[in-house]
Structure 1
Amino acid sequence: MDANKLLAIVCVSEMLMESSSSSEDSEEDDNKKIFALASVIRETHPRQTGYLSVIMEYSNSDFWRHFRVSQATFNYLLRFMEKNKFRSEITYYGGYEPLSNSEVLLITLQYLGNQGAIRLLADKFDRTESSIWNAIEWVCNFLFKHQSCFIKWPVETEMPYIASKFKDKCGFPGVVGAIDGCHIPFHPLFADQKSYRNYKKFHSFVIMAIVLYDGTFSYVFSEFPGSSHDSYIFHRSSLYNKLNNRCSSMFNPRRYHIIGDSAFPIQQWCLTPYKKGTNGITRSQRTFNFKLSATRMVVEHSFGELKNRFRRCQNVYAKIDKAVNVVVSSCVLHNICIQKGDINRESYCHIPLHCNVIPNHCDQR
């Protein structure tokens, strides 16, 4: 705003303030005029500029460090989004240029891959905070909607190959998936804090997943509060109903099975470790438990990979519906990265996985 316009607004405001009136309505009218005049002054905040040009100069390594995916994976994602009509109609009403699909994806990847505040992203991309939130919501909603394109239960003809790859790990036969639950720390409303407080004394919700031999998620189920037991969540999942009622349509339960820890129910299609009774367990049972546990570790490694690559999953500041979208979107991206050979370049040994929901139900060896 130029100096002359600002001076005119100040002079008019002073005139209104100096004028006195005994009428209460007149005072109210004066206040409305002052607020109306003040509203034309646009609040501005200095921000960085030219960051998108800087990104163009990033090496492959630098691009990965900032956005947690390779440039090839980013280009694949962008093509997939545009092919599936992501924001196919963008209307420009004047003012700031609208966010491009490329910029929207860059913003979301940097949000998912880091724990920085939204205001830092707004400053970096020279956008308002509301625009940053909109970009994140658009992409996460899109990935959540299209999760079935990347998180798939394998078809029956793939089961022999999957079982052989699992057997190559530790010699445990017939495995077509490893199941476990993982806590995602987040910050619920005060009224909901009790139900979301888990046994480790922090607030979380649980993501339950089945993982294949290569670390990809074949099934994801989320939203239950951190106080819920793995078994309780599993019994209320759509997958449990299918396995319990129509398992033969998914795989032959006499030949194949999923494996889990002692928190899960033992079924013909689900194997868990032997529990140590009063007389202990036999040597063969101990060997069984060891091989099952070693094979099952792939699911915990996947949770560690997820939290290390997309670090927003380590602590989500959002309402539960948006927090679930963030985590499921991260699972989708996790699968895409594995399918595209986009390996994680950092170790995640220091990251707490929070995989075992109830400590008393760990594997007995």
Structure 2
Amino acid sequence: MDRGDLLEEEILVTILALLSHLNSLLEAAVAAATRCLHLVRQNNYNTHTDWMVLVSTPQRPRYWVYPHRSMDWWKNCVLAQWEDSRWVRNFRMSRRTFMWLVDILKPHLFHQDTQMRHAWPVDLRVAMSLWYLANKNSFREVQEQFGVGLTTVADAVHEFCMVVEEVLVPRLVKLTDPMEQIMLGFAEIGFPQCVGAVDGCHIPIQNPADSNGEYINRKKFASIVLMAICDHRGRFYAAEAGESGKSHDAYIFNGCHFTHAIDRGAFFPATPSLVVDGVAVPPLGPW
């Protein structure tokens, strides 16, 4: 499903939710009017003053943005005063990298102001997303930290992740050097005939109700696996996520796009081998 289909689905869900909410409000209004008329008939309200007192009962105000929330901490403390060490510790990147990220993603995350309120700044929404991802906080904790609403945090994180996948992954997670140069680089640091360093990590998820334990990993919690491969300089050129936490590392590697590309000969026109004491040692795989 592409982004357009996803947006259409989200718009339809939002419209249905609004219609349901309006229907609930209409039913509540009809019920309140019925109760008022019943009270009028019971108590014989026959003056304009009595009627106004009845219908103007104070109600709890509803806020678009709660008045006690403030972005002062973000504007006056983090942006204005934090040094790079604190940025790295809390956002996993320096302030310079953060600003570069904001500039790259701004065309895709920018929202127009409306007559009802100003849109949240792009730098704030990127910061909330990074804070959530880097510190294992809940949406509620990020909400209190940045002084915004809970839905604002959830929308910012989801939109940020989608844009990163669409914009940054194709731009940054790719081969920048020929495979021969990568092999030479690994050989210089003591790993001959090596084309990449691969590892994975478990990303915790809520266990799907119909999974029957498929996502429960060896550490006894539900997860999906992120597998990534980097070159001799530590630059990632392949990354995949989505396999269940129960899957073995070898199974995930054998099924990834990178392995399939190697099997097709996309990276090695000829099968590389290493000569050890006069004996040619082929690679462990079919390539």
Consecutive unaligned residues in structure 2, runs of 5 or more: 1-31, 43-53, 275-282
User: Residues 38, 209 of structure 1: CA spacing in aligned structure 2 closer, same or farther, 3 A cutoff?
Assistant: farther
Task: Choose from 188, 192, 197 the match for 1:168.
Answer: 188
The answer to whether the 8 A contact 1:63-1:71 is kept is yes
CA contact (8 A) 2:226 2:242 kept: yes
The structure whose Rg is larger is 2
In 1, Cα distance between equivalents of 2:97 and 2:213: 40
2:90 corresponds to: 66
Aligned to 1:100: 121
Distance 2:176 2:121 in 1: 35
Question: In the aligned structure 1, how far is the partner of 2:138 from the partner of 2:163?
Answer: 22
Matches within 5 A, 1:193-204: 194-204=213-223
Q: 1:185 to 1:97 in 2, by over 3 A?
A: same
Give the equivalent residue in structure 2 for 1:25.
Answer: none
- Give the structure-1-normalised TM-score: 0.55
Is the 1:87–1:101 Cα contact (8 Å) retained in structure 2? yes
Q: 2:227 aligns with which of 202, 208, 214?
A: 208
Does the aligned pair in 2 maintain the 1:163–1:175 contact within 8 Å?
A: yes
Query: CA contact under 8 A between 2:226 and 2:240: conserved in structure 1?
Result: yes
Provide the residue aligned with 1:255 in structure 2.
272
Q: Specify the code of the residue in structure 1 equivalent to 2:172.
A: F
Identity of aligned residues (%): 24
| Aligned equivalents of 2:182, 2:245: Cα separation in 1 | 31
User: Deviation string for 1:195-253 (max 9, x for gaps)?
Assistant: 10123322211122222122222111110111112233233322232221x21x32345
Q: Is the 8 A contact 2:109 2:160 kept in 1?
A: no
* Cα distance, 1:209–1:49 mapped onto 2, change above 3 Å: closer
Structure 1 distance, partners of 2:71, 2:271, is 62
Q: What is the CA distance between 1:175 and its match in structure 2?
A: 1.3
In structure 2, the residue matched to 1:116 is 137
Match of 2:172 in 1: 150
Q: Tell me the number of residue pairs that the alignment of Structure 1 and Structure 2 aligns.
A: 231
Structure with larger RCO (C-alpha < 8 A, sep 6+): 1
Q: Alpha carbon RMSD of aligned pairs, Å?
A: 3.3
Aligned partners of 1:105 and 1:135 also within 8 Å: yes
Q: Secondary structure of the residue that 2:99 maps to in structure 1?
A: helix
Query: Would you say the 8 A contact 2:70–2:147 is kept in 1?
Result: yes
Partner of 1:260: none
TM-score by length of 2: 0.69
Residue 308 of structure 1 aligns with which residue?
none
> Structure 2 CA distance, aligned partners of 1:187 and 1:202?
9
One-letter amino acid of the counterpart of residue 54, structure 1 = C
Q: Using a 3 Å threshold, how does the CA distance of structure 1 residues 104 and 49 change in structure 2: closer, same or farther?
A: closer
